Amino acid sequence: MYVKTLSDVKTIILTLYVDDMLIASSNMQAIRELKEDLAKSFSMKDLGAAKHILGMQISRDWNARTLILSQKEYIEKVLKRFSMNKAKPVSTPLVVATHFRLTKAMCPGTQEEKAEMCSIPYASAVGSLMYAMIWTRPHIAHAVGETSRFMENLGKEHWQCGY
């Protein structure tokens, strides 16, 4: 992320990830000038106002002056990838309650059980949830933290808690 202060009240922000670039400023002239300068050195395609970047949908309400980021499509792909698209939705993920707690006792005790759990893509699932948590879903931070504690020695109950 690059930030340039144009004056006391005006700033231009350029974010870059591999070949995705997003430019933001309340000064449209500054945006146009930056695009022109960059086009002199780089091959660029102006796709207009951003609607999608890094797995996030971007929507704006110009009248209310709001910007909304959503990862609904990303989350649906993650659920499908890990065959959890039919899982029961809950309003509060992994509520810490006395009737449900992930523990070390749920970890496999034998080498056979550990070998069986090696084929489960648990770390990938937790990592996918971390990505969503960081950008648009901070409310799942507790659940992601709890599940990530068992990546080294995953038990069946740890994996099945998503169902």
**For 42-52, how does the pLDDT look when each residue is reduced to its tens digit (9 = 90+)?**
998 888 888 98
Q: Are strands 66-70 and 56-61 parallel, antiparallel or unpaired?
A: antiparallel
Q: Are strands 52-53 and 20-25 parallel, antiparallel or unpaired?
A: unpaired
pLDDT value, residue 94: 59
| Of 52, 17, 22, 55, nearest in space to 132 by CA | 55
Cβ-based burial of 144 (10 A; exposed 0-12, middle 13-18, buried ≥19): buried
pLDDT value, residue 37: 93
Instruction: For Cα atoms 86, 130, 105, give the angle at the middle one, nearest 5 degrees.
Output: 75
Confidence of residue 113 (pLDDT cuts 50, 70, 90): confident
pLDDT value, residue 93: 60
* Mean pLDDT, rounded, for 15-28: 88
- Residue 42, CB half-sphere, CA atoms under 13 Å: how many? 11
Write the pLDDT tens digit of every residue in 71-111.
999 999 999 999 888 877 776 665 544 456 788 888 888 88
Q: Which residues contact 133 (CB under 8 A, 6 or more apart)?
A: 140, 141, 144
Q: Is the pLDDT of residue 119 over 60?
A: yes
**pTM for this model (two decimals):** 0.71
